Structure 1
Amino acid sequence: MAQPHASAGQIIDAQPLGARLVDEKTVALFKAQDLEVMRLVLQAGKALPPHQVAGEITIHCIEGVLDVTLGGRSHVLRAGQMLFLTGGALHGVTAMEDASALVTIALKR
């Protein structure tokens, strides 16, 4: 069963998953007309292949370590760090350790 998206005014728990990290999956937290926020969960060694989206993106590492490739360069994100990507930027994400992140996408129509 799909997890429902949060409604306007609803509190969303975005704390580190801790010991639950190994059992969790990536989920969309909410999607509005111009904005989508998801919790990305990747176990060590797992990756999202290079891809691009039309809108701007932020990747805020909550826990673990992520390697974001962008423009042929590696950007290592640790807990508490955030990376901004322009719309259309080709990027990939690899978990160097079990990790979770908040990913915000500005939706372009």
Structure 2
Amino acid sequence: MALPHAQARDVIDLQPLGAAVAQTPSTSLIKTARLQLMRVVLRAGQSLPEHQVPGEITIQGLEGEAVVTTTEGERVLKAQQLVLLPGGEPHAVHARTDCSLLVTVRLGGP
């Protein structure tokens, strides 16, 4: 069964989850032919193993603190901070605290 995604012009709530962060799963919010937005939720100590995607990616801290590791080192990402990664760059994410992140991926096309 396909996940429901927001449609064009839908308003998406990105408020911090607060105490609910520990019980909230990661969610794909929007997916089109060229763009995907996901709210990634990690508990303290959890990690996304190293991976890469073909398109550019942004990772924005919504709450908590995470470490983004790339080929050029580590970047600490806190709430209200954003990092841009070039397409194809290997990266991993590790949660220092319970956190939620807005991940935007450019999927394809010019």
CA distance in 2, matches of 1:90, 1:53: 8
TM value normalised by structure 1: 0.95
Deviation of 1:33 after TM superposition, in Å, equals 1.2
For the Cα contact (< 8 Å) 2:68–2:77, is it kept in 1?
A: yes
Distance 1:77 1:60 in 2: 8
The 3-state SS of whatever aligns with 1:29 is strand
CA contact under 8 A between 2:49 and 2:93: conserved in structure 1? yes
Return the TM-score normalized by structure 2. Answer: 0.94
The equivalent of 2:64 in structure 1 is: 64
Aligned residue in 2 for 1:49: 49
Say how many residue pairs are matched.
Answer: 109
Cα RMSD (Å): 1.3
Partners of 1:105 and 1:4 in 2: CA distance: 18
Per-residue CA distance 1:37-86 (angstroms, 9 max, x = gap):
00010000000000000000000000000000001511000111000000
Q: Which stretches in structure 2 are left out of the alignment for 5+ residues?
A: none
Q: Unpaired segments of 5 or more residues in structure 1?
A: none
Aligned-partner SS, 2:21: helix
Structure 1: 4+ residue segments shifted above 2 A: none
Taking every aligned residue pair, what percent have the same amino acid on both sides? 48
- What CA distance in whole angstroms lies between the structure 2 residues aligned with 1:2 and 1:55? 23
Shift of 1:2: 6.5
> Within 5 A, what are the aligned runs for 1:35-46?
35-46=35-46
Which segment drifts farther, 67-76 or 92-101?
67-76
